[in-house]
A and B are shown apart, each in its own frame.
Chain A
Amino acid sequence: MARVVARDGLALEELYDRYGRPCYALARRILSDEVLAQDVVQEVFLTVWRDASRFDVSRGAFATWLLSMTHHKAVDTVRREENLRKRRGSAEQLELREVEGPTVHEEVWSGLRRGRVVAALASLPDAQRHALELAYYGGYTQREIAGLTGTPLGTVKTRMLAGMRRLRDQLHGLGAAAETDTEFGATS
């Protein structure tokens, strides 16, 4: 990141090579639209280029910052493009299907990481998982989730907090471990 701050374009390319794929996968998952997902990822990396100094390592890892930004911009976009909403968020959306492109080597690394996260999600009670998936992958607000699921708003909030606490406990250390794992494509 220090190189990006110093306006080293190659450094940004290296960051893209490392993080572009998970950013794109996340944006595409939220938007269900490849072109809009590309727009979001491009905007994210150009924001990194323009405002690299905004990244504060004392407040968290670079991957966390980058993926949070990707999520935020994708959710903004999906709310603008209301008709794109596919009312997704159920566990079925996480079913595996083959995709073209990544090498098997990359697939092994990302597969291991993905396996952990999918397992952690699957371990949540259905109601907690559903609420979190609707918010994270669907871009719905807590109030919208309450309406969608016919659940009191307070219950939705409580479920999301409980689910997030359990995920935090189960995934504790995974991000930190990946920070030292360049092949994972997780951090700077």
Chain B
Amino acid sequence: MSSSSAAREHDRWEELAVGSALDALEPADEQAFQQHTLICPLCRQTVADTRVVMAELAYAAMPADPPPTLRAAIVAAVEGSERPPVLQQPAPEVASTARAETPVVELDSRRVRRRRAVLSPWMGAAASLVLVLALVVWNLVLQAQNSTTARQNRVVAVVLHCVEDSACRTVPLKSRSGQTEATALVRSSRVELVVNGLARNDVKTQTYVLWRVPQGGAPVAMAVFDVTKSGPTVIPVPPPKGELRPIDGLAISKEAGRRAPETGSTPLVVGSVSA
């Protein structure tokens, strides 16, 4: 058998490998393939590689939150509780189980918090906003006092301008550790970015990208920028296409190359416009 015919023959097995990983083979094909895998490490690898891709495809499915009752049912089963599974029951308004520390309670509490936010939408939010902005300004003012650079004064001016503008919202962009490394100042038609904590990038081979992330949708690059200095810096952002809706998120990633790729790498910091 020539090498090309051998390759074609193996392609046929690889076709079955993909089908097997996808549970898409007829029983006879599956049986034949399983016997083949006993002697073919390449096909075993193809099955493994296909399953990795399949796991990624799971994330293309429509995002959906399982009901809190599902978690409770799993926990109950694991604990060997005599409580019957509570699938299909509506989620309680406030969890009343004895496991007050479980995330079931946390999930329901989250709902309660959301409901309360609807009942008193402005008072708490306004107080929190004032407090956050005051802290941001105070922090920046303190830093400005220690430095006379125009750059830092510019930061203070931009933030103060946002504080004075009732239509301006501050969006902290936090790392996975919870550290705020940038703050977006968001108006309906304009976004400014204050970075204060992102590491300097190699301006020849890397760039930072600010992404707008619609709920459940693909991110869209808003700006590319470099961080070349330590300390707070204002980054200009081109006007967004369309108003930033309350559900939008923002994220910053560091990318190889000097342009925003079509899809970004894992973001370094993220934040919610509605936060």
Tell me the A residues contacting B by CB distance below 8 Å.
9, 12-13, 16-17, 20-26, 28-29, 34-35, 37-39, 41-42, 45-46, 49, 59-61, 63-64, 67-68, 70-72, 75-76, 94, 96-105, 107-121, 132, 135-137, 139-143, 145, 157-158, 160-161, 164, 167-168, 171, 174-175, 177-178, 181-184
Contact = CB atoms under 8 A, between A and B. Distances in A.
A111 B219 contact: yes
B117 interface: no
Contact of B102 (A13, A22, A143): A13
Interface centre among A96, A107, A132, A145 (most CB of B within 10 A): A107
Interface stretch (B55-63, B135-143, B232-240): B55-63
Given A38-B88, A105-B249, 18 more contacts: A13-B71, A21-B65, A21-B66, A25-B58, A38-B66, A42-B70, A42-B73, A60-B51, A96-B217, A99-B216, A107-B249, A108-B271, A142-B26, A142-B29, A158-B11, A167-B53, A175-B56, A177-B265
A67 B16 contact: no
Nearest to B21: A68
B23 interface: yes
B82 interface: no
A119 to B, nearest CB: 5
A136 B102 CA distance: 34
Contacts of A103: 272
A102 B63 contact: yes
Contacts of A121: 57, 60
Interface of B: 11-12, 14-16, 18-19, 21-26, 29, 48-67, 69-71, 73-75, 77-79, 85, 87-88, 102-103, 176, 211, 213-219, 247-251, 253, 262-267, 270-275
Given A112-B219, A164-B18, A60 B52 contact: yes
A105 B219 CA distance: 13
Nearest to A79: B23
A164 B87 contact: no
Contacts of A104: 215, 247-249, 272-275
A67 B15 contact: no
Contacts of B15: 157-158, 160-161
A38 B90 CA distance: 13
A182 B175 CA distance: 12
Contacts of A140: 24
A105 B176 CA distance: 10
A115 B218 contact: yes
Contacts of A20: 66, 70-71
A57 B6 CA distance: 32
Contacts of A21: 63-66
A108 B56 contact: no
Nearest to B253: A112
A24 B65 contact: yes
B65 to A, nearest CB: 3
A70 B57 CA distance: 12
A136 B57 contact: yes
Contact of B88 (A35, A49, A64, A142): A35
A99 B24 contact: no
Nearest to A70: B58
A29 B56 contact: no
In the complex, the 7 A-B pairs of residues with the closest C-beta atoms, listed nearest first: A101-B65, A115-B218, A104-B272, A108-B249, A29-B61, A157-B15, A24-B66
Interface centre among B73, B102, B249, B262 (most CB of A within 10 A): B249
